[in-house]
Amino acid sequence: MPSYYDQVSEAAEFIRVRVGRVPDIAVVLGSGLGDLADRVGGALTLAYVDIPNWPPSGVVGHAGKLVIGELAGRRVAVLSGRAHFYEGHSLLRSTFGIRVMGLLGVKTVILTNAAGGINTSFESGALMVIDDHINLFGTNPLIGPNEDRFGPRFPDMTDAYSKRLRAIAGAVAAERGIELAHGVYAALHGPSYETPAEIRFLRTIGADAVGMSTAPETIVARHMGIEVLALSCITNMAAGVLDAPLDHAEVMSTATRVKDRFIALVEGTIARL
């Protein structure tokens, strides 16, 4: 059976021979944020199921396709949807796309997600730059023998989310009149939403938002030396913040409502890179 590295290499080579000029920036789109992929010019679109070894994404709001072309004057790869740990994928599988991007030569990745707001100053529809994360998955995508061709055994996570990229996003938001918060993202594996008691705990330990992705991808990206910017769309307030039940339909509805601001922020940031 091919090794994990060989599987990633096969997928990267499959993409490379089809796109010609490979991208230097990748964007991963979270729930309901897939409209950005439609703005890629001269696009080559590959369904995840057609790329060797690439895990499918089965969640509503995740298109499950890779779009490569031009956006804001740069060559980009847009991952429209991601595979989640809670779908039954291992963390090796759910971070597979980031590994492929790294072997293609991508040096910058913009991760996006839909998140629940823990910080009570947030409102549904807010946009947040992730300054740091708290990984509460209970595991790590680097567990197991280290593959030195990917990166070092003990990667530093002091600057997991690039200060340079965060500053660029902040400047773009200010220029375009987009209100942009900063905060800490708590990553839990789901798929159940958190209880009110869990949200109180997360607020106590310093989390501003909570979601079910992003942290494992960031760990893998940093392992490969990829610079990371992560943006959360606060699509709902977390359990107990408001007296209302949580459901995925609200996530999708809010993401649709804020998509123009989100797209403007991402495109403006890419143009500055």
DSSP 239: B
Q: Is 115 exposed, middle or buried (0-12, 13-18, 19+ CB in 10 A)?
A: buried
* 232 is known as an active-site residue: no
Identified catalytic residue from 5, 86, 90, 182: 86
Identified catalytic residue from 53, 157, 248, 253: 248
Report the C-alpha gap between 121 and 109 in whole angstroms: 28
b/e burial code for range 190-211 (CB count within 10 A of at least 16 → b): beebbeeebbeebbeeebbbbb
Terminal Cα-to-Cα distance of the chain (whole angstroms): 40
Identified catalytic residue from 62, 133, 189, 223: 62
* 119 is known as an active-site residue: no
Identified catalytic residue from 63, 101, 114, 255: 114
Identified catalytic residue from 4, 9, 12, 31: 31
Phi/psi for 168 (5° steps) reads -65, -45
Identified catalytic residue from 213, 217, 237, 239: 213
* 89 is known as an active-site residue: no
Side chain identity, residue 110: I
Identified catalytic residue from 10, 13, 70, 87: 87
Do 28 and 57 form a contact (C-beta atoms < 8 A)?
no
Using DSSP bridges, classify how beta strands 108-117 and 227-237 pair: parallel, antiparallel or unpaired. Answer: parallel
* 212 is known as an active-site residue: yes
* 62 is known as an active-site residue: yes
* 53 is known as an active-site residue: no
Task: Assign residue 125 a region (left: φ > 0; alpha: ψ between -120 and 50; beta: otherwise).
Answer: left
* 213 is known as an active-site residue: yes
Identified catalytic residue from 209, 236, 238, 255: 236
Please, which residues bridge with residue 114 across strands? 233
Q: Which residues are catalytic?
A: 31, 62, 84, 86-87, 114, 212-213, 236, 248
